[in-house]
Structure 1
Amino acid sequence: MKSIVRGLLGAAIVIPAAASAQDTVVRTPEGAQMNVASDLAYKPGELTQEQLMSSTRDLMAMEAMNVFRRYPREKTAEMVKFYTEALALKSLSPIQLTATQQMLLTGVGRAQIKLSAGQQGNRLYDMSGGIKGGTGIRYFRLTYPDKHMLMKRFSDAGFDAPMFQKRSDGTEAAVVNDPGGFPIEIVIEPGAKDGSNDGVGVGIAASDLAVSRKFYREFVGLDELPAVTDSTTGLELYPFRNGETTLYLYQSPDTSRHDNGSAGIQYVVTDSPMADAKAKARGIAVETPLNKLAGFDLVTVWLNDPDGVTNYYAQVGPNSRTARQQAGN
């Protein structure tokens, strides 16, 4: 039995029926209810030590990563206006997670910024120190070709226009906060696609930079690029890339504040149970156990990086919406 719910942006989304009494139900940081089943995981001895200790890079099915932005529910209308009108990100059909919880989707190239209203569970939410004032994902980086067009969009949408400054590499940049208080670094680059349609950057402040770099290099398996200095913030950044998406790791100047709830990372993969097995072999923290959302043809597991940032592995079946969207591209 399935029901149809009309999405906030007008699209009808199918919601799977409630779990049976035999299923174990867990809730993700975004509020979705998932069914945990013991037959999803690999059995002991089924995988070799070499398989278990290799990175998850070969599992990735998309040359990009999606990111989540979680915010107070009362900010929803302002958030939609900010991301789709001021930043001009492509508005996609939303997903209804529960009767009261909806995921709003915006496109950035192959990937998405997923807007999730409501701050769930035992996550920490403290962006009071801004980019330099704590640990966790502290900002997104978006690129545009024309600052004047962007400034007009901000004004037309009712937001203060960004104040751009010249940088040492000849580009211009500004930092603005979204309506939920999360920083967005906007960089004007020659040849960039409008609406940051060639990808997104994710700034991650680490309490122990060496430990976090090892996690994203050896476990996740992203391409580690040479360190760069961001002249907007003055931070030394350590980039880790998968296709269109780059994670910018840096040592947090202030580790007294922690935020592992306002944003998260998602990898679209071919084998979530394999990612789960690799994580358990390394003792990596599991946020939401291996689970399935049959109505969406998904098998997923949520893991935490060393500072509690959610790293969400999503295995999409051929009937999933993600798979259909990728086929359409």
Structure 2
Amino acid sequence: MGRFATIAVGAASIALASCAAAQSNTVTTPEGAVMQVNSDLAYKPGELTQEQLTSSTRDLFAQDSMNVFRRFPRGMTEQMIAFYTEALALRSLSPIQLTSSQQMILTGVGSGQIKLSAGQQGNRKYNMEGGVKGGTGIRFFTLTYPDKATVAARFTAAGLPAPQFVAQGDGTEAALVTDPGGFPIQIVVKPGAKDGSNDGVGVGINASNLEESRAFYREFVGLDELPPVTDKLLGITKYPYRHGETTIYLYDTGDNLPADNGSAGIQYVVSDAPLADAKAKARGIAVETPLNKLGGFDLITVWLNDPDGVTNYFAQVGPNSRTAQARRSGN
């Protein structure tokens, strides 16, 4: 457990969050959603066994992928939508109206989503200077396509320079572009890939302490640990951790790098968010937004932070949620 945030720090984070929640009964997520805090949602002391508390969250996963957030300044909304749906050709899904002024724009990648969140909320840090190697936190997404000529044509049609692909030495070609907010996107062309990256998404996290982050995603989250790979385009060694269609790539490019824990985040759709919350508390993992409900959405969530402050958001969707309704309708 020493490889995670210390018990003292985790307990302090929980206490501060709980104190704030007790005063207002609501919390605001990094995406701007106003959530209703309710202590009755949590498991009571003694309800869970030590084995339940110390096992990973893997058995709770209810979706064969993770969703990811991309947070950006509100004034870039139109450019961001055009980039992700036209240049990258991701599926455009119906948006979610979180508040009267806050909308979540959804794009599909296989069974998962890239969620575009306009507005940079709270005390998150945003620093994409230096690109993939210039800071800690989520530094890039990887998307896959079957044909580079089609990708180039889409970028040109969107008024953007065509990506410049280089051979990776493993039968694939890759290019690095940035979205309108300066966030890197690695485009990989490989035989047999589904168009629009419907095979899923990769998430690159530059870790300040690689072993601590590897332990977090392997032992607490419970992702499949794969052999390390060399990425010739990016010039890094990546340590992959996978769930279904989504792979997190951990890597390390040096000490004392500036943090970015705001530009992107991770979401897991789970069967029991209060159990994820209890497992996190048992390990002393920092809580960003305590256990809560989103009124009108049949949704229970808890927001945790990885060792570098990357939001790991566990969402339990009920039968009346929009997510559940979309699954039943096949959308």
| TMscore range, shorter length | over 0.9
Aligned to 2:230: 229
Distance 1:312 1:221 in 2: 14
Aligned to 1:319: 320
In the TM superposition, residue 167 of structure 1 has moved relative to its aligned partner by 1.5
Structure 1 gaps, min length 5: 1-20
The one-letter amino acid of 1:238's match is Y
* Post-superposition CA distance 1:258-283 (Å, at most 9, x none): 10000000000000000000000100
In the TM superposition, residue 255 of structure 1 has moved relative to its aligned partner by 3.5
* Post-superposition CA distance 1:210-244 (Å, at most 9, x none): 00000000000000011111111121111000000
In structure 2, the CA distance between the partners of 1:254 and 1:184, relative to structure 1 (3 Å rule), is farther
Distance 1:48 1:277 in 2: 11
Distance 1:278 1:92 in 2: 33
In the TM superposition, residue 326 of structure 1 has moved relative to its aligned partner by 2.1
Aligned to 2:19: none
SS of structure 2 residue aligned to 1:137:
strand
Contact 1:109 1:199 in 2 (8 A): yes
The one-letter amino acid of 2:134's match is G
Listed as ranges, the matches of 1:109-120 within 5 Å are 109-120=110-121
Distance 2:256 2:114 in 1: 26
Q: TM-score, normalised by structure 1?
A: 0.92
Aligned to 2:178: 177
Contact 1:23 1:37 in 2 (8 A): no
* Post-superposition CA distance 1:110-134 (Å, at most 9, x none): 0000000000000000010100111
* Post-superposition CA distance 1:113-163 (Å, at most 9, x none): 000000000000001010011100000000001111111111111111111
Aligned to 1:11: none
The one-letter amino acid of 2:274's match is P
Listed as ranges, the matches of 1:251-270 within 5 Å are 251-253=252-254, 255-270=256-271
Aligned to 1:136: 137
Aligned to 1:190: 191
Which is richer in helix?
2
Distance 2:328 2:252 in 1: 39
Contact 1:134 1:254 in 2 (8 A): no
Aligned to 1:158: 159
The one-letter amino acid of 1:112's match is Q
The one-letter amino acid of 1:217's match is R
Q: Percent identity?
A: 73
In the TM superposition, residue 47 of structure 1 has moved relative to its aligned partner by 0.7
Distance 2:323 2:289 in 1: 20
State the superposition RMSD in angstroms: 1.2
Aligned to 1:67: 68
In the TM superposition, residue 23 of structure 1 has moved relative to its aligned partner by 6.8
Listed as ranges, the matches of 1:29-48 within 5 Å are 29-48=30-49
Distance 1:149 1:306 in 2: 39
1:85 is aligned to 2:117: no
The one-letter amino acid of 1:168's match is G
Q: TM-score, normalised by structure 2?
A: 0.92
Contact 1:138 1:204 in 2 (8 A): yes
In structure 2, the CA distance between the partners of 1:151 and 1:312, relative to structure 1 (3 Å rule), is same
The one-letter amino acid of 1:311's match is N
In the TM superposition, residue 254 of structure 1 has moved relative to its aligned partner by 5.1
SS of structure 2 residue aligned to 1:190:
coil
Contact 1:135 1:207 in 2 (8 A): yes
In the TM superposition, residue 22 of structure 1 has moved relative to its aligned partner by 9.8
Distance 1:249 1:22 in 2: 38
The one-letter amino acid of 1:114's match is K
1:278 is aligned to 2:282: no
In structure 2, the CA distance between the partners of 1:159 and 1:254, relative to structure 1 (3 Å rule), is farther
SS of structure 2 residue aligned to 1:296:
coil
* Post-superposition CA distance 1:23-42 (Å, at most 9, x none): 70100000000000111000
State the number of aligned residues: 309
Listed as ranges, the matches of 1:281-300 within 5 Å are 281-300=282-301
In the TM superposition, residue 253 of structure 1 has moved relative to its aligned partner by 2.8
Distance 2:74 2:244 in 1: 32
Structure 2 gaps, min length 5: 1-21
Distance 1:149 1:256 in 2: 37
Contact 1:132 1:254 in 2 (8 A): no
Aligned to 2:245: 244
Distance 2:209 2:24 in 1: 39
Aligned to 1:167: 168
Distance 1:94 1:124 in 2: 25
Distance 1:232 1:328 in 2: 40
Deviates more, 1:296-305 or 1:21-30: 21-30
The one-letter amino acid of 1:153's match is R
In the TM superposition, residue 328 of structure 1 has moved relative to its aligned partner by 2.9
1:27 is aligned to 2:28: yes
SS of structure 2 residue aligned to 1:249:
strand
Contact 1:133 1:253 in 2 (8 A): no
The one-letter amino acid of 1:93's match is S
Aligned to 2:207: 206
